């Protein structure tokens, strides 16, 4: 939380009680994504009148300054930044339990080497499968 507050201040955002409560909730999700609906439900339990617009705006701002990471699948999912020192990183996501594991290496050079003359403006990589625990449980069955 201290690092997140520091990032908010560094980027000239007010450190409000609502933002602290949102960050506190999100900080529980460093190794798993949470749906925006679950985030909204939590925030409404604390602030009944909070609008979807406020929640989405804060999440978008948090993503822009590196406090959270998002994933688009059937719905938008968000998780707390797992590595403040290396904003650019990739994940392995377990399809069974949803556990997220940070991958240390970036394979972008492999792809850019195949694209001479191209300008790559960004990328995102997530690898899916079963984590070690889920694989072990599956083999035990």
SS3 label, residue 120 = coil
Q: Is 131 annotated as a binding residue?
A: yes
Q: Is 106 annotated as a binding residue?
A: no
Can you tell me the distance from the alpha carbon of 109 to that of 17, in angstroms, rounded to the nearest whole number? 42
Q: Which burial class, exposed, middle or buried, applies to 104 when counting CB atoms under 10 A from its CB (0-12, 13-18, 19+)? A: exposed
Q: Is 91 annotated as a binding residue?
A: no
DSSP conformational letter for 67 = S
**Residues comprising the chain, all counted:** 141
Q: Is 82 annotated as a binding residue?
A: no
Q: Is 89 annotated as a binding residue?
A: no
Q: Is 12 annotated as a binding residue?
A: no
Annotated binding site for Zn(2+): 94, 97, 131, 134
Annotated binding site for Fe cation: 88, 123
Annotated binding site: 88, 94, 97, 123, 131, 134
């Amino acid at each position: 939380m201290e690092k997140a507050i520091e990032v908010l201040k560094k980027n000239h955002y007010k450190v409000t009680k609502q933002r602290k409560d949102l960050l506190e909730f999100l900080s529980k999700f460093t190794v798993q994504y949470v749906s925006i609906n679950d985030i909204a439900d939590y925030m409404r339990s604390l602030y009944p009148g909070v609008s979807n617009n406020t929640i989405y705006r804060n999440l978008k701002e948090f993503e822009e300054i590196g406090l959270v990471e998002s994933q688009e699948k059937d719905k938008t999912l968000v998780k707390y930044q797992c590595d403040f020192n290396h904003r650019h990183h990739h994940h392995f996501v377990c399809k069974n339990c949803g556990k997220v594991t940070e991958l240390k290496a970036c394979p972008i050079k492999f792809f850019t080497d195949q694209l001479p003359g191209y300008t790559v403006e960004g990328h995102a990589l997530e690898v899916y499968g079963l984590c070690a625990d889920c694989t072990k449980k599956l083999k035990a069955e």
